[in-house]
Homo-oligomer: A and B are copies of this chain.
Amino acid sequence: MNSQATPHPQPKPKAPTIFDVAKLAGVSIKTVSRVINLESNVRPSTREKVEAAVEALDYRPNAAARVLSGKRFYVIGLIYENPNEFSYMQKVLNGALKACEAGGYTLLLLPLTLPNPDLIDDVQRFVSQSRLDGVVLPAPLGDFSEIQRLLNELEIPFARITPKTGAEDDLSVQCHDEQASFDVTQFLIEQGHRRLGFIKGDPIHGATEHRYRGYIRALQVAGIGLRSEFVRDGMFSFESGKTAARALLDLREPPTAIVASNDDMAAGTIFEARERGLSIPGDLSVVGFDDTPIASHIWPPLTTVRQPIVEMAESVTSLLIRKLKGEQVEPLDQPFACHVVTRASTGERAVQDDLE
């Protein structure tokens, strides 16, 4: 295993340090430190000299020395539920990674399995062992008050991706979940559907409530009464969608369209419908939420709602980083917009069958 005593012709050029930069720029190391940390009270001409030297040497501050000396770790933790269907988390991960790279931070991962009786201990251990400056909490963890309380106690700033907004200085991003649900329901109504089923998501997710509200509002606006037998509980899983769909399709007067609170449950719905020999969208229109890969890979492909998850994650992470850098940050004033992606799982309802 490389036991050959290979002579090193070039003894591996050592990375330049702050001293090298200081010498080249003709200033003290402290001044270099000020420039690279964007501190004030540096004469523009000095700044330029230092920047030129940094450039010339391709200098990068040594992260370890920085951490050891300073009070920051330049590390952000991403704590998430490790799901079966990773496409949401993949997007969150990509967005957070992007923001961290831009801000010079490192992203550390803590996947959790829920339900977890040791949740708080696990988070506690992660946060203290990994020496984090801040934490990003995607849904549904962002809604867990225990975690928020713990992080507040430890005085660790955090940012959440969740439909539920919190206190004044709370860092979180939302998207127009309620509106999207309204839009997709209205879309079905415009296609002539009057008997509209709804499958709720896992109540632990804030989005569940919002999506349900959008459905209700669309019914109200269209003057369609809410029928409780058309609303079923689900858990965001394929199986739960299948079960809920079974109940809906077993009704004496089943819905002609079903709004499932995510794509997995919509896939379950389609699965159940096909097992019964129903044609989609001929006999039943189905819509989902999230535009996960499965939405376009089942037959028929799903009409669904796409959210800008990557952008949301990136945005909230960079907000967190700016807060960590001491900037005064305002919470985002506007939720991100979602939009309906129309595919083959929905279609016109020829007969106005609600008048029978």
B106–A108 touching, CB < 8 Å? yes
Enumerate chain B residues within 8 angstroms of A144, measured Cβ to Cβ: none
* Chain B residues whose C-beta falls within 8 Å of the C-beta of A87 in the assembled complex: 86
Alpha-carbon separation in the docked complex, A65 to B67 (Å): 8
Q: Tell me if A56 counts as interface (CB < 8 A to partner B).
A: no
Provide the bound-state CA to CA distance between A346 and B332, in Å: 51
Instruction: Report the bound CA distance from A73 to B296 in whole Å.
Output: 43
Return chain B residues, CB-CB under 8 Å to A107. 108-109
The listed residue (B60, B68, B298) touching A298 by CB distance below 8 A is B298
Binary contact readout A77-88 vs B (1 if CB under 8 angstroms, 0 otherwise) = 000001011110
A50 CA / B297 CA spacing, docked (Å):
58
A336 at the binding interface (Cβ < 8 Å): no
Asked if A328 CB lies within 8 Å of chain B CBs, one says yes
Chain A 225-268 interface residues, beta-carbon cutoff 8 Å to B: 238, 264, 267-268
| In the complex, chain A residues 56-105 whose Cβ is within 8 Å of any chain B Cβ | 60, 62-65, 67-68, 73, 82, 84-87, 89-90, 93-94, 97
Cβ of A356 < 8 Å from any Cβ of B? no
In the bound complex, CA of A297 to CA of B260 (Å): 15
Q: Which of B60, B65, B275, B297 contacts A267 (CB 8 A)?
A: B297
A109 touching B129, Cβ below 8 Å: no
A299 CB within 8 Å of chain B:
yes
The answer to whether the Cβ of A7 comes within 8 Å of any Cβ in the partner chain is no
- Docked CA distance A275–B68 (Å): 62
Question: What are the 8 A-B residue pairs with the smallest beta carbon separation, nearest first?
Answer: A64-B67, A64-B68, A86-B90, A271-B299, A86-B86, A64-B64, A274-B299, A238-B297
Q: Which residues of A are at the interface with B, using a C-beta cutoff of 8 A? A: 1-2, 12, 60, 62-65, 67-68, 73, 82, 84-87, 89-90, 93-94, 97, 106-109, 111, 129-131, 155, 169, 238, 264, 267-268, 270-271, 274-275, 293-294, 296-299, 328
> Mind listing 15 A-B residue pairs with CB under 8 Å?
A1-B169, A12-B155, A62-B68, A68-B68, A84-B293, A86-B87, A94-B111, A97-B111, A106-B130, A238-B296, A238-B297, A264-B297, A271-B297, A271-B299, A275-B299
